[in-house]
Amino acid sequence: MSGNEGPSKRPLDRNLNLQIRLVIALLLFLGLMIFLAWSAVAHRLSGTETASLLLIIGLPAAALTAYWVLEPFRRALGILDAGIRTLEDGDFSFRLRRPRQPELAAMIDLYNQLADAFQKERNTLFQKELLLDTVIQHTPMAILLVGPHDRILLANRAAQQRFPLGKSLIGLHFYELTAAASEALGRFLEREETGLLNLQREEEAETYHISSIPFHLNGIRHRLVMIKHLTREMRRKEVQTWKKMIRLINHELNNSLAPLSSLLHSARLLAREAPNEVKLASVFDTMSTSIDHLVRFLEDYANFARLPNPRKEWVSWRDFLAKVEPLYGFRLDMDDPSQRGWFDPAQIQMVLINLLKNAHEATGTDKESVVLKLAPGQIPGAVHFQVMDRGRGMSPETMNRALLPFFSTKPSGTGLGLTLCREILELHGGSLRLQTREGGGLIVACELPGLPQERGPEAA
């Protein structure tokens, strides 16, 4: 019955197919009937004697003939039954030898093909499970699978290290784990929340991201808990940010101070010579421009670092924009001139000045293409406003990075303008996003949420 054996040599009668066996059995039965009929006539047997002869000789002969015809099928069905039972037990290595009878061969072939498919599928699943287990066990993130009755079904190495109970976590009740953890971590895990958790350990803060994801498997609720230690990664990113900021500040200071030193030297030389007020004035004007650039650069960093919470008040958009327009002109697209907004005027003015300045720099001489479009929201004080230009726009890659701190496409840019604008809008509860303008250019779409539904100008 093993699949490793080939078809063995058998007597000829065992290899006969069903049709031949039936023909032989029919001929033998007919011959037997003729013989019994001849014997009854020759010996002048009575009806009772003839019936007795048929019972004594005919029935055993018919039974033996039927057994001879059906015995290979009975044996094959018995073997097939044993093979199916091995499949039920999960053993897919059992194979049946292919018989010579074509009636049985197709059935046996189908069984062997089914066993091959099951074994191939099992090997594939085993390889996938092995790969998944390797990934789970070697990931630095602690992973726990909590099953019915809050029993832990899976815990990787990082989870064992995160909760050193001195024994395997698998099979434990989940709340045995939370009881052994710190108080803050235990409470967070019991609430089944997803988010960041800051822990203070030995005068040092540690940050974790904890995910608790419920799902149903075969109709039974499970929960996947993942705990990722972010402290090292955040420190590394923080150091990289500081290094980049220091390099940028150093670059800007050198670019501003080096020309100032050279200009001071030139001013001293001019002062020693005959008075030349025109040249000295030119030198001092250049020095003043460099100093102004340096002051603006430092102010950008100072504003970004110490941005206060907004002091919101009701502001008339028409009056507010009248103060901004002389600084950087724009074409206004506004449905309701009497509309009022609920925001910090100083901070939103900073946002508009930054966005309009960028639009003018991108547009060049075509100042009329800079458009400020305002549309009221459904909530009192809410507004959607867009600053649109006809510049070169941004590629998708640049657009994805434009809101990152210190990223700038300008040679002298600090990379803080758009970041500062987004920070101000988010402090107001709003948002900022970049879009491509149809026909060329860029749209900076901003949203201010206004007051909650139950409040209005009168309540404020």
Q: CATH number, domain at 153?
A: 3.30.450.20
- Whether 336 maps to a domain, the answer reads yes
Does 457 fall in a domain?
Answer: no
Do strands 331-334 and 371-376 pair parallel, antiparallel, or not at all (unpaired)?
parallel
Most confident of 90-99, 123-132, 275-284: 123-132
Q: Residue 170, SS3?
A: coil
Asked if residue 45 and residue 106 are part of one domain, the reply reads yes
Residue 381: CATH number of its domain = 3.30.565.10
For 286, the domain range is: 234-305
Judged by DSSP in three states, 20 sits in: helix
Enumerate the β-bridge partners of residue 212. 225
Choose from 265-269, 318-322, 391-395 the range with maximum mean pLDDT: 318-322
Query: Is residue 28 in some structural domain?
Result: yes
Output 419 or 332, whichever has higher pLDDT: 332
200, 229, 258 — which closes off a domain? 229
| Average pLDDT over the chain, rounded to an integer | 76
Q: Is the residue at 2 inside a domain? A: no
As a whole number, mean pLDDT of residues 28-45 equals 69
Chain centre to alpha carbon of residue 381? 37
Distance (Å, rounded) from C-alpha 252 to C-alpha 412?
A: 8
Q: Is the pLDDT of residue 145 over 90?
A: yes
Q: Which residues contact 393 (CB under 8 A, 6 or more apart)?
A: 436, 437, 440, 441, 442
pTM greater than 0.75 (yes/no): no
> Do 154 and 214 belong to one domain?
yes
Give how many domains the chain has, as a whole number.
4
Q: State the pLDDT at residue 101.
A: 64
* Beta-bridge partners for 82: none
Tokens of 171: 């099979």
DSSP annotation of 97: P
80-89, 142-151, 303-312: which is most confident: 142-151
Final residue of a structural domain among 254, 275, 305: 305
Same structural domain, 240 and 225: no
Shared domain check, 239 and 225: no
Cβ(163)–Cβ(169) under 8 Å?
A: yes
CA dihedral sign of residues 402, 403, 407, 410? positive
Candidates 206, 233, 223; CA nearest to 143 is 223
Residue-wise pLDDT tens digits, 57-75: 666 777 777 766 666 677 7
Q: Three-state DSSP class for 447?
A: strand
Task: Output the pLDDT for position 314.
Answer: 92
Q: 80 and 160 share a domain?
A: no
Give the orientation angle of helix 277-305 with respect to helix 417-427, to 10 degrees: 40
Average pLDDT of the residues in 103-115: 79
- Give the lowest-confidence range in 85-94, 296-305, 373-382: 296-305
Q: Is residue 131 part of a domain?
A: no
Residue whose token pair is 């929340």? 193
Q: Integer distance in angstroms from the first to the last C-alpha of the chain?
A: 89
Tell me: do 151 and 118 sit in the same domain: no
Rounded mean pLDDT, 422-443: 88
Say if 318 falls within a structural domain.
Answer: yes
Q: Among 243, 276, 305, which residue terminates a domain? A: 305
Q: Are residues 102 and 153 in the same domain?
A: no
The packing angle between helices 102-138 and 59-88, to 10°, is: 10
77/17 same-domain check: yes
Check pLDDT > 60 for residue 137: yes
Is 189 found in the same domain as 69?
A: no
Do 349 and 426 reside in the same domain of the chain?
yes
Tell whether 130 is covered by a domain.
no
> What distance in Å separates the CA atoms of residue 252 and residue 290, rounded to the nearest whole number?
11
Which of 85, 113, 104, 77 lies closest to 3 in space, CA to CA?
113
Collapsing DSSP states into helix, strand and coil, what is residue 7?
coil
298 lies in the same domain as 337: no
Residues whose CB is less than 8 angstroms from the CB of residue 301 and which lie 6 or more positions away in sequence, other chains included: 245, 249, 414, 416
Q: Is residue 3 part of a domain?
A: no
436/338 same-domain check: yes
